[in-house]
Amino acid sequence: MRRALITTGTTLAGIVLLLSLKPHESTLHNASAPLSTGDVPGPETRASQPAGPTATSGNGTFIGDAVQTEFGTVQVRITVRDGALAKVDVLRYPDEDRKSVAISRFALPRLTERTMAAGNAQIDTLSGATYTSEGYRRSLQSALDQAGVR
């Protein structure tokens, strides 16, 4: 098992570099038991849960810590067979995190002609809820059109 750990440790170091992980966080915590397939832990899960008897055989599946990188969370799973690294699966890619980038929320701004002038944001046209012909007459779009046609 020691050899297995060294092997996986070395390989992981390579992965770690590739993925810009923090090395001290990506070490495997006391290599443990094969995890049931499909058992993908959340970001807080450490790799040390299900205990198992495989330490002597050098076989098993191990999940590294979820690591925060500047691109998002990365987490890998390795499979060791006969003391050698057989497979590496990346369980979490940064892209998954990007998709969940929070929608931003804020108070409703009110930009008047003056604030827009101050911000140097002359507008060319206006998008608003469908206006009737009457609504158009009262709209800023009507004013913009008059200014342009004049």
Partner 1 sequence: MSAESSLRLVEPAMGTVFSFDVRTPATDEIHAALTSAVAWLHHVDALFSTYRPGSQISRLGRGELTVGECAPEVREVLDRCRELSEETGGRFSSTPAGRLDPSGLVKGWAVERASDLLYEAGALDHCVNGGGDVQTRGEAAPGRPWRIGLAHPADHEAVAAVVEGRDLAVATSGTAERGAHITDPRTGRPASALLSLTLVGRRLATVDALATAVFAMGEEAEDWLRSRPGLHAYAVTADHRVWSTPGFPFAAPLGAPCHAV
Question: Which residues on neighbouring strands pair with residue 75, listed in sequence order?
Answer: 92
CB of 37 or CB of 132, closer to partner 1: 132
18 binds partner 1 (CB under 8 A): no
135 binds partner 1 (CB under 8 A): yes
What does R_g of the chain's alpha carbons equal in angstroms?
28
Instruction: Choose one: 22-30, 56-64, 71-79, 135-143; the region binding partner 1 (CB under 8 A).
Output: 135-143
**b/e for 25-61, b at 16 or more Cβ within 10 A?**
ebbbeebbbbbeeeeebeeeeebeeeeeebbeebbbb
Residue type, position 89, single letter:
D
CB of 93 or CB of 131, closer to partner 1: 131
Instruction: Choose one: 24-32, 41-49, 62-70, 132-140; the region binding partner 1 (CB under 8 A).
Output: 132-140
- Using alpha carbons, select from 48, 16, 13 the residue that is nearest to residue 33: 48
CB of 85 or CB of 144, closer to partner 1: 144
Q: Residues binding partner 1: what is the number (CB under 8 A)?
A: 42
CA distance 5 to 7: 5
CB of 38 or CB of 119, closer to partner 1: 119
Of residues 74 through 113, those in contact with partner 1 by CB under 8 A are 99-113
* Secondary element (H or E) of residue 138: none
70 binds partner 1 (CB under 8 A): no
Question: Which residues on neighbouring strands pair with residue 84, listed in sequence order?
Answer: 81
CB of 37 or CB of 125, closer to partner 1: 125
In the complex, the residues that contact partner 1 under the rule CB under 8 A are 99-113, 115-116, 119, 121-133, 135-136, 138-142, 144-145, 148-149
